[in-house]
Chain A
Amino acid sequence: MASLITCSHCGPRPKEEFTVKGDAAIARPAADASEDAWYAYVYLRDNPRGRHKEYWHHTSGCRRWLVVERDTVTHAIYAVADAAAQGETA
């Protein structure tokens, strides 16, 4: 894991200030979506070996939710964006 995450609001900060939530690529289905759609949302994961988008919370900083694109093999960070700016909901 890279030691620094460049927060969109606070700049480069040590990763210990952040809390990881997990996969940001999965989209929450509509409330009346099928059981299969909800099963896939709650339980199934792409779990890629390589680039992975995930939610990180800047717990000890600005307390914003971020979407961090990261490599799960090299741990390099490619991009960071505010979750709200991407229209994402956790």
Chain B
Amino acid sequence: MIATSSHGESIMRYSAFSVFLNALRGNKSWRPAWRSPVPKNHYDVIIVGGGGHGLSTAYYLAKEFGITNVAVLEKGYIGSGNVGRNTTIIRSNYLLQGNNPFYELSMKLWEGLEQDFNFNAMVSQRGVLNLYHSDAQRDAYTRRGNAMRLHGVDADLLDRNTVRQMLPFLDFDNARFPIQGALMQKRGGTVRHDAVAWGYARGADSRGVDIIQNCEVTGIRRENGVVTGVETSQGFIGCGKLALAAAGNSTVVADMIDMKLPIESHVLQAFVSEGLKPFIDNVVTFGAGHFYVSQSDKGGLVFGGDIDGYNSYAQRGNLATVEHVAEAGVAMIPALSRVRVLRSWGGVMDMSMDGSPIIDRTHIDNLYLNAGWCYGGFKATPASGFCYAHLIARNQPHETATAFRLDRFARGRMIDEKGVGSQPNLH
């Protein structure tokens, strides 16, 4: 079960047999899933940000586009950012033309991911239900479901009795927001978020990509109008192409080349409860407030709500938002009132001006930008990396990501899925 990677070091292919064999050996021969290399002087491509999107970009650059002289620079450790701070939900229930084929590509990549990168990411297509509470909301969900079907994505409009059979503990007869039914995407679900980071890191590393942790980019060096490399906490590193994937810190990195972005950084909190017996089989979202919940395999309810609303680079939020999320949760599932919350955490979201992301070239020829994921970046991890790798390797956008242009705001081509205009804390 030992294979040799492109750079001559042996990697271990994971399988049921390898688990069994290592158990017999007393679990002493497992090796680290990726190396901790000293940075080289120069790389063909440097990716700034070792989160989900940076790592998946490196993985697909190496695997699909044959570019292996790549470094991923991460200022903290792998999994310390938003890839380990989300509520692990995957779905492709988007309405708009610019969004839907992209998120459906992501869903298809999720469906084959574990075989593809040989890592157990616990992809669970348990179904995502969006509850509706009024005739108008039902009509809006019907339109969304029809748009999804026209894009070849599964969507089912469920009536009240069907939802009641699936989720009898919901507050169906709430006086203000009675539940009338739900829009369901059966192929939606959850994925173990840390394993996504680890799997992509291991897959990229085994193909020759250097993953350099605790390496903060502090400056970008330019000569004759092109980027020549980056100043980092581990010294200068040269590059042929520079690809930014810094999520909530995108503005901080873009400031290094005096590029102003249509982005504000905001804090989003997420929560997990004490472990319970199997209770919620699907991902369920409240239609009368911002609340979404699923149950992890360990039994904890994983849930979240809206962003706190003010600009923040702190990975922690405010108690008022905790209270608001808990109220929405109890309004949807009254039984939650007796559940204790174990942990909460915050992540820094790169909120764009229309709620949709940017995967594009910039005004500098060899500088690329991947940002503006708002709080929907996790589900997009595979397609974001695939399309960004396509853009970096071929210098033209992937066919599903042609709308995510940086200049779309100036050209009036916004992708405003929620329809609230250029107010980032409302998306």
Residues of A bordering B, CB below 8 Å = 1, 3, 15-16, 20, 22-23, 35, 39-40, 42-49, 52, 54, 70, 72-75
Contact = CB atoms under 8 A, between A and B. Distances in A.
Interface residues of B, number: 27
Interface stretch (B39-47, B150-158, B255-263, B326-334): B255-263
Nearest to A74: B314
B239 interface: no
B311 A43 contact: no
B7 to A, nearest CB: 36
A46 B255 CA distance: 9
29 contacts: A1-B308, A1-B318, A3-B319, A15-B318, A16-B320, A20-B310, A20-B425, A22-B424, A23-B311, A35-B410, A40-B260, A42-B422, A43-B262, A43-B422, A44-B261, A45-B251, A45-B263, A46-B260, A47-B251, A47-B261, A47-B263, A47-B265, A49-B252, A54-B311, A72-B265, A72-B312, A72-B313, A72-B314, A73-B312
Contacts of A47: 251, 261, 263-265, 311
Given A22-B425, A45-B260, A47-B261, 17 more contacts: A1-B308, A1-B310, A3-B319, A15-B318, A15-B320, A20-B309, A20-B310, A22-B264, A40-B260, A42-B422, A45-B263, A45-B264, A45-B424, A47-B251, A49-B251, A72-B313, A75-B314
A16 B260 CA distance: 31
A73 B423 CA distance: 21
Contacts of A42: 353, 409, 422
The residue in A3, A44, A73, A74 that gathers the most chain B C-beta atoms within 10 A of its C-beta is A44
A36 B200 CA distance: 40
A52 B314 CA distance: 13
A42 B264 CA distance: 13
Contact of B262 (A45, A48, A49, A54): A45
A22 B265 contact: no
Given A20-B425, A47-B251, A73 B309 contact: no
Contacts of B252: 49
Nearest to B260: A44
A62 to B, nearest CB: 20
Contacts of B262: 43-45
Contact of B312 (A3, A35, A40, A75): A75
Interface residues of chain B: helix, strand, loop or mixed (majority):
mixed
Contacts of A1: 308, 310, 312, 317-318
- The 8 A-B residue pairs with the shortest CB-CB distance in the complex, in nearest-first order: A47-B251, A43-B409, A43-B262, A44-B260, A20-B310, A1-B318, A49-B313, A73-B313
A69 to B, nearest CB: 12
Interface centre among B251, B320, B410, B422 (most CB of A within 10 A): B410
A74 B312 CA distance: 9
A22 B172 CA distance: 37
Where chain A touches its partner, the secondary structure class is mixed
Contacts of B320: 15-16
Interface string B416-427: 000000111100
A52 to B, nearest CB: 6
Contacts of A52: 311
Contacts of B314: 72-75
Contacts of A48: 251
A42 B421 CA distance: 10
Contacts of A45: 251, 260-264, 424
A22 B423 contact: yes
Contacts of A54: 310-311
Contacts of B317: 1
Interface in B295-353: 308-314, 317-320, 353
Contacts of B309: 20
Contacts of A23: 264, 311
A36 to B, nearest CB: 8
A22 B252 CA distance: 18
A8 to B, nearest CB: 19
Contact of A39 (B265, B312, B410, B423): B410
A73 B261 CA distance: 19
Given A1-B318, A16-B320, A72-B313, A43 B308 contact: no
A37 to B, nearest CB: 12
Nearest to B323: A16
